[in-house]
């Protein structure tokens, strides 16, 4: 066959094959996958702009705003169209490295979608960008609602803060987009779904450089739905007073409850942090400094820090003893001579009390009496009753990350120290020291049982129509006996610095031993005794004795609250010192 004919057939066949392939690809692109590529084309031409919804406000019990929304300017970039020259100029204006801008823009997979790289920029930065916006490729500025905390660091541990959402958080909830803010702590986190609202959507046409051309008439915009306002039970004026009374101390925790229903009137932890700083965003160095700060400003000491309760726990040893064996009410053990010997070890008391009955042992906080009382009722009775009082378990407050503390019982001691653990461990437990650990909130809730005939209300920071109570099943006679002693503690015992003339106060001092430094000062109590309106649990770290430090501050807190709510006609200053040694 002629060679030219062969070559012709080969070329013809190649052309036919290519034609078939081209036709096949055309069919696939236009018919089989036509919708897909049409959608991608539309996505490049049409951009969905999400208009963030303003978060709901957070208001205190009197309607005072403790978290609201303000407008702020943001900058976003489109990775597909931004160039090196624009990146360099933007870096200088924003004070961000080019690498940081690029890294932030990469969190969005679609290179044609804008990504917010800076929030709450200044008017000066905004003006500099606006002046050159026509020269900048892939740069946009806009206005967004930003969270604002008017009381700065005062309510940080309770209200919490919002921060920019992460990719992992978006995957867990499709209701968010990159650049959104989400509750990270406190009320902001616990009630996120209520506060966040729903985004609005606008559809705009963009050119090949990613710049907006105009709105798309055939696609209807959806307006944003603001989040729901939330009223919390906190009294901001009371919290401000607490911060003033604790201004001379570096570390402290204070929780105030309405003891009848568990409403949290104040929750204050010191040191704190200004949540407004999270709106701007902290760089890695700032985050590391904050997280490694030895004073732990991010840590909520009311719900997360665990301390030995000291002599405030003697109250519950007495309750356990009375409930299991009422005959101990008049019981007098060996007199207190300032120490008690167990084997070859001396267990000390803070002074010589002599012979005491149960009530006076509480009033004067005699360690020797409680060593003997704890040993007489035994570890099983102590652990059982203390568990009923809520120790060793979470209170159920509507905040995240609450700690359980530690309530050691027989099995715990055997696991920790072996079968040969000693009565010395019971001695320590009986005066609230050693391995026993509680949070200030747990201690406050436990003291509320004296107000509610043995029931403990679940603490809460959002107002409720009903209250959940936990029954302790402790006898009324036992409760009334210890309540009488707690009144005596303030009237003539270790907490005379908490006395308020005309207003009977009921409570107990404590000194929490600290192996890492000075002891912590404690007081837990409520007033007025006949119609309790406020229960205070105060712990001041490294401050010394409860009677000399925590009790007088608690008096001032109670006075401030009762005065502001017209619960007292006249409140005079109680004596700052007493002739009774502080516990």
Number of folded domains that form the chain:
2
540: buried, middle or exposed (CB in 10 Å: 19+, 13-18, 0-12)?
Answer: buried
- 423 belongs to a structural domain: yes
Cβ(299)–Cβ(439) under 8 Å? no
Give CA–CA dist 94/362, Å, rounded.
Answer: 63
One domain for residues 406 and 532: yes
DSSP letter for each residue of 509-529? EEEE--TTSSPEEEEEEEE-S
| Partner residues linked to 270 by β-bridges | 252
Q: How far apart are CA 343 and CA 396, in angstroms?
A: 42
CATH number for the domain that contains residue 548: 3.40.710.10
Does residue 279 fall inside a structural domain? no
Q: Are residues 332 and 313 part of one domain?
A: yes
Q: Are residues 181 and 254 in the same domain?
A: no
308 and 208 inside one domain: no
Q: Say if residue 185 is in the same domain as residue 249.
A: no
Q: Helices then strands (H, E): number in the chain?
A: 20, 19
Pairing relationship of beta strands 65-78 and 58-59 according to DSSP bridges: antiparallel
From the candidates 311, 324, 548, 578, give the one annotated as an active-site residue. Answer: 311
218 and 339, same domain (yes or no): no
CA separation for the pair 287, 285 (Å, rounded) = 5
Domain-located, residue 19: no
> Do 500 and 360 reside in the same domain of the chain?
yes
Q: What is the pLDDT of residue 1?
A: 54
Q: Range of 69's domain?
A: 47-230
Exposure letters 175-214 (e unless 16+ CB within 10 A, then b): ebebbbbbbbbbbbbbbbebbbbebeebbbebeeebbeee
Q: Is the omega angle on the peptide bond into residue 432 within 30 degrees of 0, that is, cis? A: no
In a domain, 10, yes or no: no
Q: Which helix (H) or strand (E) holds 170?
A: helix 167-172
Average pLDDT for consecutive 10-residue bins of the chain (583 residues)? 64 77 70 54 63 92 96 91 91 91 85 86 93 88 93 97 85 77 95 92 67 64 91 97 97 98 98 90 79 92 97 97 87 94 92 96 97 96 97 96 97 93 94 97 98 97 89 95 97 96 96 88 97 98 94 97 68 41 59
- Asked whether residue 402 is assigned to any structural domain, the reply reads yes
Confidence (pLDDT) at 572: 37
- The rounded distance, in Å, linking the Cα atoms of 255 and 535 is 8
Instruction: Tell me the C-alpha to C-alpha distance, in Å, between residue 70 and each of 148, 201, 211, 497.
Output: 6, 20, 27, 45
Q: How many beta carbons lie within 10 A of that of residue 402, not counting itself?
A: 20
Element (H, E) at 270: strand 264-270
Q: State whether 457 and 441 are in the same domain.
A: yes
* 8 domain residue, yes or no: no
Among residues 506, 489, 481, 483, the alpha carbon closest in space to that of 547 is found at 489
Distance of CA 429 to CAs 311, 348, 365, 382, 423, Å?
A: 10, 14, 14, 9, 10
The pLDDT assigned to 168 comes to 78
361, 342 in Cβ contact below 8 A? no
In a domain, 287, yes or no: no
- 343 and 451 part of one domain: yes
Q: Identify the pLDDT of residue 42.
A: 53
From 172, 198, 230, the end of a domain falls on 230
Same domain, 241 and 172: no
Residue 571, pLDDT score: 40
Q: Give the CATH number of the domain where residue 145 resides.
A: 3.90.1310.10
My answer on whether 222 and 353 are in the same domain is no
Q: Of 181, 214, 230, which one is at a domain's C-terminal end?
A: 230
311 is catalytic: yes
For residues 466 and 448, what is the distance between their CA atoms, to the nearest angstrom? 17
Residues paired with residue 141 on neighbouring β-strands, in sequence order: 75
Q: Cα–Cα distance between 558 and 571 in angstroms, integer? A: 10
Answer yes or no: do 309 and 196 share one domain: no
């Amino acid at each position: 066959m002629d060679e030219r004919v062969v070559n012709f057939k080969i070329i013809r066949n190649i052309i036919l094959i290519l034609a078939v392939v081209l036709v096949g690809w055309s069919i696939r692109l236009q018919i089989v996958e036509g919708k897909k590529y049409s959608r991608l084309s539309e996505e490049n031409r049409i951009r969905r702009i999400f208009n963030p919804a303003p978060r709901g406000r957070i208001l205190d019990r009197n309607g005072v705003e403790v978290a609201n929304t303000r407008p702020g300017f943001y900058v976003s970039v489109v990775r597909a169209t931004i160039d090196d020259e624009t990146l360099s100029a933007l870096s200088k204006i924003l004070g961000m490295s080019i690498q940081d801008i690029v890294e932030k823009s990469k969190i969005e997979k679609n290179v044609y979608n804008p990504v917010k790289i800076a929030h709450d920029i200044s008017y000066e930065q905004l003006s500099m960008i606006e002046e050159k916006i026509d020269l900048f490729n892939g740069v946009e500025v806009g206005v967004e609602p930003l969270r604002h905390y008017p009381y700065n660091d005062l309510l940080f541990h309770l209200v919490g803060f919002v921060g920019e959402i992460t990719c992992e958080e978006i995957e867990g909830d499709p209701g968010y987009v990159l650049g959104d803010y989400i509750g990270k702590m406190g009320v902001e986190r616990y009630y996120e779904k209520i506060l966040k609202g729903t985004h609005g959507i606008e559809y705009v046409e963009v050119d090949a450089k990613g710049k907006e051309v105009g709105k798309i008439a055939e696609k209807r915009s959806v307006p944003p739905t603001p989040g729901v306002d939330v009223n919390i039970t906190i009294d901001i004026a009371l919290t401000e007073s607490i911060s003033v009374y604790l201004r001379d101390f570096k570390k402290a925790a204070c929780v105030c409850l309405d003891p009848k229903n568990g409403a949290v009137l104040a929750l204050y932890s010191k040191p704190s942090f200004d949540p407004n700083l999270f709106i701007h965003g902290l760089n890695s160095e700032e985050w590391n400094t904050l997280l490694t700060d030895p004073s732990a400003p991010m840590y909520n000491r009311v719900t997360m820090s665990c301390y030995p309760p000291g002599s405030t726990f003697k109250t519950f040893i007495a309750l356990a003893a009375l409930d299991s064996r009422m005959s101990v009410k008049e019981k007098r053990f060996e007199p207190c001579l300032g120490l008690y010997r167990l084997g070859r070890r001396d267990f000390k008391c803070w002074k010589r009390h002599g012979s005491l009955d149960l009530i006076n042992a509480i009033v004067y906080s005699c360690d020797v009496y409680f060593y003997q009382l704890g040993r007489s009722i035994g570890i099983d009775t102590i652990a059982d009753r203390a568990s009923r009082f809520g120790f060793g378990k979470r209170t159920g407050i509507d905040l995240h990350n609450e700690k359980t503390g530690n309530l050691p019982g027989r099995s715990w001691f055997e696991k920790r120290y072996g079968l040969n653990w000693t009565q010395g461990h019971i001695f320590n437990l009986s005066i609230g020291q050693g391995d026993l650990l509680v949070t200030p909130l747990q201690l406050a809730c436990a003291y509320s049982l004296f107000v509610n005939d043995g029931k403990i209300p679940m603490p809460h920071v959002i107002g409720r129509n009903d209250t959940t109570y936990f029954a302790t099943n402790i006898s009324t006679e036992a409760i009334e006996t210890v309540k009488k002693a707690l009144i005596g503690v303030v009237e003539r015992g270790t907490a005379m610095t908490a006395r308020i003339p005309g207003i009977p106060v009921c409570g107990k001092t404590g000194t929490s031993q600290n192996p890492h430094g000075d002891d912590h000062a404690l007081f837990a109590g409520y007033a007025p005794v006949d119609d309790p309106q406020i229960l205070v649990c105060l712990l001041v770290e490294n401050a010394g004795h409860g009677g000399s430090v925590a009790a007088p501050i608690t008096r001032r807190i109670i006075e401030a609250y009762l005065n502001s709510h017209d619960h007292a006609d006249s409140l005079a200053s109680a004596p700052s010192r007493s002739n009774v040694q502080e516990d």
